[in-house]
């Protein structure tokens, strides 16, 4: 359960792209495969409780089978993602993708971007969102730009939806029943947005009333 809890924590939170979430899942599956092999050899280094038992009394075959079932369940649940594995890798690391192995529509653009030292430096220094929005213009890389937009716009989790409903529950109480839909929409936008309001600029746009 500890390893499942750790995976659950990694899959939570906002500003995570599907490619990173899929990496967490694949890492977990590989850990399960390694643990299953070790259990088959009666190695229990990753199980604190089981390691306290004598090797002769512990039912290693039982636990190995359970780990195998869990691994198979994860593989089946995320089977659809494996179909798009190459696309996810291209989005997450365009410099680590061999241009000759990529789809025809990306080959020329990949060759160009991989030989651009400035773009390669920007990829190493910035997060994916900043990299694609500022250093991969659609004019120069139309196919890579469209490919990135597909995955950036794809929700990796329901975190944002849950956060929105949680904030709305705190805002729209019995004592604030006169809130209009417009006010509620504005409050929720401010509460859930990571963009800070420029108060000084907004104040300058208002004319002071002279009495």
Evaluate whether 55 touches 42 at the Cβ level (below 8 Å): yes
Residue 61 lies in a domain: yes
Q: Considering 109, 136, 152, which residue would you say is the last residue of a domain?
A: 152
Residue 6 lies in a domain: yes
Residue 210 lies in a domain: no
Encode pLDDT of 53-84 as tens digits. 666 667 778 888 888 899 999 999 888 888 88
Q: Same domain, yes or no, for 94 and 131?
A: yes
Cα separation, 74 vs 103, in Å, equals 28
Q: Which two three-digit tokens encode residue 164?
A: 């929105």
Q: Same domain, yes or no, for 76 and 95?
A: no
Q: Same domain, yes or no, for 67 and 97?
A: no
Give the total number of structural domains in the chain.
Answer: 3
Residue 67 lies in a domain: yes
What count of residues does the chain have? 211
Encode pLDDT of 173-182 as tens digits. 777 777 788 8
Residue 43's domain comprises 2-83
Cα separation, 132 vs 86, in Å, equals 18
Encode pLDDT of 88-134 as tens digits. 999 999 999 999 999 999 999 999 999 999 999 999 999 998 999 99
Provide the pLDDT for residue 147: 93
């Amino acid at each position: 359960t500890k390893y499942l809890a750790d995976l659950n924590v990694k899959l939570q939170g906002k500003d995570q792209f599907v490619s990173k979430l899929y990496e967490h899942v694949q890492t977990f599956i590989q850990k399960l495969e390694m643990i299953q092999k070790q259990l088959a050899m009666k190695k229990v280094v990753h199980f604190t409780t089981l390691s306290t038992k004598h090797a002769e009394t512990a039912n290693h075959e039982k636990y190995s089978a359970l780990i195998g079932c869990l691994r198979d369940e994860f593989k089946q649940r995320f089977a659809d993602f494996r179909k798009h594995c190459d696309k996810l890798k291209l989005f997450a690391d365009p410099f680590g993708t061999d241009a000759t192995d990529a789809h025809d529509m990306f080959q020329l653009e990949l060759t160009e971007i991989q030989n651009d030292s400035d773009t390669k430096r920007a990829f190493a220094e910035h997060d994916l969102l900043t990299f694609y929005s500022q250093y991969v213009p659609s004019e120069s890389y139309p196919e890579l730009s469209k490919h990135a937009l597909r995955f950036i716009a794809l929700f990796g989790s329901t975190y944002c939806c849950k956060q929105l409903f949680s904030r709305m529950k705190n805002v729209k109480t019995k004592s604030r029943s006169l809130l209009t839909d417009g006010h509620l929409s504005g409050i929720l936008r401010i509460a859930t947005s990571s963009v800070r309001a420029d108060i000084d600029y907004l104040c300058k746009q208002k004319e002071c009333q002279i009495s």
